Amino acid sequence: MSLKSTVPFKGTKEQEQQLKAIIEAEKNNKGCLIPIMQKAQNIYGYLPIEVQKIIAEGLSISLQEVYGVSTFYSFFSLYPKGEYQISVCLGTACYVKGSGDVFEKLQQVLGIKDGECTADGKFSISACRCIGACGLAPVMTINGDVYGRLTPNEVEGILAKY
Amino acid sequence: MKSLAELQAIKDKTNQELGTVEKRVLVGMATCGIAAGASPVYDVLANGVQGDLAKTVSVKQTGCVGICQYEPVVEIYEGDKRTTYVKMTAEKAQKVLEDHIKNGKVVYEYTIGANN
Amino acid sequence: MTCSNDKMVAGASLNETEFFKKQTRVALRNCGVIDPCNINEYIARDGYAALGKVLTEMSSEDVIQTLLDSGLRGRGGAGFPTGLKWKFAAANADDQKYVCCNADEGDPGAFMDRSVLEGDPHVVLEAMAIAGYAIGATQGYIYVRAEYPVAVERLQLAIKQAREYGLLGKNIFESGFDFDIDLRLGAGAFVCGEETALMTSIEGKRGEPHPRPPFPAKSGLFKKPTILNNVETWANIPQIILNGADWFAGMGTEKSKGTKVFALGGKIKNTGLVEIPMGTPLREVVEEIGGGIPGGKKFKAAQTGGPSGGCIPAQHFDVAIDYDNLIAIGSMMGSGGLIVMDEDNCMVDIAKFFLEFTVDESCGKCTPCRVGTRRLLEMLDKITKGQGTMQDLEEMKELCLYIKANSLCGLGQTAPNPVLSTLNYFYDEYVAHVKDKRCPAGVCKDLLSFTIDKDKCIGCGLCARNCPVNCISQTDYVAPGHKLASYVIDSSKCIKCGACMANCKVGAISKK
């Protein structure tokens, strides 16, 4: 079902060099760990354990410390995301207008749960908290495209576009 | 910044520049506006106001004016007169450009008064 | 200069709407008016004049006294007097102090801070520099959600412009005062809106809160004296300096001065961002500014304060909105989300929604919050499934009070509020779920049953074709005036997805 840990790490030498340059440039700044991890996730798309090891070594801190941070914040993903990342807003304004039903329908149609990715790597879904488009509630986004005033019936038609 | 006088000079110069513009066109481009489709609207207006027209009309992006369900919003200020266009699209923007911005005729059916 | 060839068209301007007329814009004064990417436009609207005034004419004591006199209280939720916070930090001598901005707006359904950051980023920078001067700090940090890319981009640009103009950096206005600001991106943890957790996160660690005292004014970021204010609080400060404490104190109620921004959402006609003087009645906000509830539905409750707040029922519809009044009726100001609910919203479901949020966001450091909120959610889940008992209701209340009293930080201390306030005001609805196994609002799926009105059904079969579990079949009853036999739902197989109801063209299917 889900890709999760079954995907092997495919980092390149260039990516590693890029990351090491960032660590070098930032390592003397106070509180630099989180900014470095954010940049690392921009490079790799996620933060597999291999990348966390490079960061820990570069900053001369333990891997536990890096892992402790990466698992604390929902922004960091330990698993790769789908080619198309779907976020459904479950902020209060969207929720009272029925975004919970839209989210359920998506999970049903794609056969995956919150935070997972389809087996072909095409779609991943996640719930998010208020993207600030409350006038369009309920809202979901697919790689930055915004779909507003949704009903569960529209879900399949929208997915078919991708 | 060295002194209050220097700050005042920037303020005066900017106000003078803003004063020479006959029509100030503002496109609401906070996250909510962009999500509702403000970018193509802005492009139509910004691309349409070129050359001589750009001497008397300015097209700017601005933040959120607070009327979420009417996004995308375009406002045109002419001195004290304020016109609020709501639920804009690229096509509607084209008409506002031709009728209101170029010819001074308010396109009433796209304003907030007609969509309330 | 005005175009003379055009007469005013009635109603063509936002100025003429009830939505706009009833507002007083202080924090939002530049939003939707200036180009946020152009520092000159901010300066043209008196931008940085307050910083100039402070650095050339006022002592740090003057600045703090002005804030104290203004009565400004923190807009992030708890409402602590801003001037007092600054006074404490100023009194603690140290070689390094910090000024922080909380832009980790995490309440689901609230976006006031985002609008200020995107529409008027310089106001935050200017106010932070004023605070730096007042307490003796040279470095500021803005902690902003990574989920707000537009806000981040505009803040970065604003900082760059302010540095180029020498409004951030060394020797600002040749006063000998140095101040600079850096951004730190949040990484999606609601608890980081709590001040000690936020500072731990800026330090690059897991954003867990820690006990106070010591308060941040004594030992905050990197163990140095620190003040933290929220975006909306900052947005008020330059105006207070320029117009004076009396001007600000002239707005609002006795103990809540000035204005408050609300993100109005949910079942309301005019969704949007509104800024109103403190003390405005809730009814006025919902009915006049918000334009009321669409579809002729009845007002049921307004939720303020997000996951930390509560639901205000119709009986308190006339409450004058200020910090103390909202606390008194079991809710709180919070950061400014105001979600309107109508008769179609189930209050047990809403309480469960907020508890799901808190369970998800509890950092896990202290037991009352980590375990307590999870137990609460389990009880709510039981109730929405029709398996709850009256004893559960009693125990739930007791557990709520225990969590409130014993949690480490604000997140846990306020997490039970949505449950307590709905238990208090909508007890009947809980009882209906428990005793009658019924959800009066028709939301809780396990308690619903779908039925087809055999006399309205035209026998088209759309419902049966759309049923994912094939539990709808045709009967041999043909209603008078119809040609085809009606359909019936086998409720023992029904999964309550609602597809039949959504597809029925004649409205013959209802849920109860």
- Give the C-side interface with A, CB within 8 Å: 106-111, 114-115, 146-148, 184-190, 201-208, 222, 263, 265-267, 271-272, 303, 306, 337, 339, 341, 345, 350, 353, 357, 363, 498, 502
Which pLDDT belongs to residue C322?
A: 95
Whether C9 has a pLDDT exceeding 70, the answer reads no
Are A136 and A103 found together in one domain?
A: yes
- Looking at A52, A72, A92, which one is the last position of a domain? A72
Residues of C in contact with A30 (CB under 8 A): 203-204, 222
Q: Tell me the mean pLDDT in the region C381-408.
A: 97
Whether C147 has a pLDDT exceeding 90, the answer reads no
Which pLDDT belongs to residue C10?
A: 62
In whole angstroms, what is the distance from residue C509 CA to residue C498 CA? 9
Low-confidence residues in chain A, pLDDT < 70:
1-7, 132
pLDDT tens-digit series, residues C355-392? 999 999 999 999 999 999 999 999 999 999 999 999 99
Which pLDDT belongs to residue A3?
A: 44
Instruction: Please give the share of chain C, as a percent, with pLDDT higher than 90.
Output: 86
Are A104 and A63 found together in one domain?
A: no
pLDDT, greater one: C1 or A115 = A115
> Which of B32, B67, B69 is opposite residue A132, by nearest beta carbon?
B32
> Which amino acid is residue C197, in one-letter code?
A
pLDDT tens-digit series, residues C41-73? 999 999 999 999 999 999 999 999 999 999 999
Inter-chain residue contact C37 with B61, CB threshold 8 Å:
yes
pLDDT tens-digit series, residues C317-351? 999 999 999 999 999 998 899 999 999 999 999 99
Are A65 and A88 found together in one domain?
A: no
Written as six digits, the tokens of B85 are 């266009």
- A146 found inside a domain: yes
- A32 found inside a domain: yes
Inter-chain residue contact C120 with B60, CB threshold 8 Å:
no
Q: How many CB pairs under 8 A join A and C?
A: 111
Q: Tell me the mean pLDDT in the region C276-282.
A: 97
- Looking at A31, A49, A72, which one is the last position of a domain? A72
pLDDT tens-digit series, residues C201-249? 999 999 999 999 999 999 999 999 999 999 999 999 999 999 999 999 9
Helices (H), C365-444: 367-384, 390-406, 410-414, 417-425, 427-434
Q: Write out the CATH class of domain C449-511.
A: alpha beta
Are A49 and A98 found together in one domain?
A: no
Q: Tell me the mean pLDDT in the region C80-109.
A: 94
Say if domain B21-115 classifies as CATH 3.40.30.10.
yes
What pTM was computed for the model? Answer: 0.91
Give the minimum alpha-carbon distance from A110 to chain C in angstroms, rounded to a whole number. 15
Which pLDDT belongs to residue A7?
A: 64
In whole angstroms, what is the distance from residue C191 CA to residue A37 CA? 19
Domain C30-249 in CATH: superfamily? NADH-ubiquinone oxidoreductase 51kDa subunit (3.40.50.11540)
* Mean pLDDT score across all residues of chain B: 94
Which pLDDT belongs to residue B12?
A: 97
Residues of A in contact with B39 (CB under 8 A): none
> Which of B61, B104, B105 is opposite residue C35, by nearest beta carbon?
B61
In which band, very low, low, confident or very high, does the pLDDT at C474 lie, cut at 50, 70 and 90? very high
How many Cα neighbours within 13 Å face the side chain of C476?
A: 0
Nearest residue in C to A92, CA atom:
C109
Which pLDDT belongs to residue A127?
A: 87
pLDDT tens-digit series, residues C169-183? 999 999 999 999 999
pLDDT, greater one: B50 or B80 = B50
Find the distance separating the first CA and the last CA of chain B, reported in whole Å: 46
* Mean pLDDT score across all residues of chain C: 94
Contact A81, A46 (CB under 8 A): yes
Range of the domain at A127: 84-160
CATH number, domain containing residue A106 = 3.40.30.10
pLDDT, greater one: A96 or C268 = C268
In which band, very low, low, confident or very high, does the pLDDT at C76 lie, cut at 50, 70 and 90? confident
What dihedral do alpha carbons C175, C176, C179, C180 form, nearest 10°?
Answer: 110
Residues of A in contact with C108 (CB under 8 A): 90-93, 95, 129-130
Nearest to A55 by CA among A73, A71, A46, A67: A67
Say if domain C347-435 classifies as CATH 1.20.1440.230.
yes
Which pLDDT belongs to residue C8?
A: 46
Q: How many structural domains compose chain A? A: 2
Q: Tell me the mean pLDDT in the region B58-82.
A: 92
In whole angstroms, what is the distance from residue C377 CA to residue C398 CA? 14
Whether the predicted interface score ipTM is above 0.85 = yes
Give the residue extent of every domain in chain C: 30-249, 259-342, 347-435, 449-511
- A7 found inside a domain: no
From the candidates C357, C361, C444, C511, which should be mutated to test the interface with A, based on the most A CB atoms within 10 A?
Answer: C357
In whole angstroms, what is the distance from residue A86 CA to residue B54 CA? 41
Which pLDDT belongs to residue C6?
A: 39
pLDDT tens-digit series, residues C408-437? 999 999 999 999 999 999 999 999 999 999
Inter-chain residue contact A130 with C109, CB threshold 8 Å:
yes
Interchain CB contact of B35 with A (< 8 Å): yes
Residues of C in contact with A96 (CB under 8 A): 265-267, 339, 341, 345, 350
Instruction: Please give the share of chain C, as a percent, with pLDDT higher than 70.
Output: 98
Q: Tell me the mean pLDDT in the region C291-308.
A: 93
Whether C34 has a pLDDT exceeding 90, the answer reads yes
User: Could you say which residues from 45 to 74 on chain B have a Cβ atom under 8 Å away from some Cβ of chain A?
Assistant: 67-71
Interchain CB contact of A144 with C (< 8 Å): no
Are A49 and A116 found together in one domain?
A: no
Whether C22 has a pLDDT exceeding 50, the answer reads yes
Which pLDDT belongs to residue A96?
A: 85
Inter-chain residue contact C111 with A132, CB threshold 8 Å:
yes
Nearest to A133 by CA among A104, A84, A91, A102: A91
Nearest residue in B to A144, CA atom:
B35
C279-303 exposure pattern, b = at least 16 Cβ within 10 A, e = fewer: bbebbbbbbbbbbbbeeeeebbbbb
Q: Tell me the mean pLDDT in the region B65-90.
A: 93
pLDDT tens-digit series, residues B19-54? 999 999 999 999 889 888 899 999 999 999 999 999
Between 3.20.20.80, 3.30.930.10, 3.40.50.2000, 3.10.20.600, what CATH number should domain C259-342 receive?
A: 3.10.20.600
Are A89 and A147 found together in one domain?
A: yes
In whole angstroms, what is the distance from residue C473 CA to residue C457 CA? 12
Inter-chain residue contact B63 with C166, CB threshold 8 Å:
no
